[in-house]
Amino acid sequence: MKPDIHPEYNTDTKVACACGNTFTTGSTLKEIRVELCNQCHPFYTGKQKFVDTARRVEKFIERAAKKTAVAAVRKGKKVKKAVVTAKKAAEKKAAAADKKAAKTVSEAEPVTAVVETGA
């Protein structure tokens, strides 16, 4: 390795967290300021903590609620298909009944012509 090109390593760097926790570690910096540490990070504490900027969480919740409301009102494909098939079946049934009624009317009384011959 080349001499005099590497930064100096400090073994007693002070780390200060936004929650107030401080500890020492090794680093090339003399002092470090952080927002989250092992005392306040949700992974280590098991508590839910939102670092929310510009209402992102609230906006997401509003969008999700809007989508579920629209989905509750809207009909799905299966419902629409069932309605269409029911209409088609009703139309077929009506057409068959009309055809049967027309057939029975034409077969009911055959018209016969009586021809009288005058002799």
The domain spans of the chain are: 1-51, 52-97
Pairing of strands 31-34, 10-17: parallel
Task: List pLDDT tens digits, range 11-29.
Answer: 999 999 988 999 999 999 9
User: Does the structure show a pLDDT above 60 at 108?
Assistant: no
H or E stretch covering 116: none
End-to-end CA distance of the chain: 144
User: Rounded distance, CA 81 to CA 37, Å?
Assistant: 56
User: Does the structure show a pLDDT above 70 at 113?
Assistant: no
| pTM exceeds 0.85 | no
For the domain spanning 1-51, the CATH number is 4.10.80.400
Pairing of strands 22-27, 10-17: antiparallel
- What pLDDT shows up at residue 52? 63
- What pLDDT shows up at residue 47? 77
- What pLDDT shows up at residue 30? 93
- What pLDDT shows up at residue 111? 57
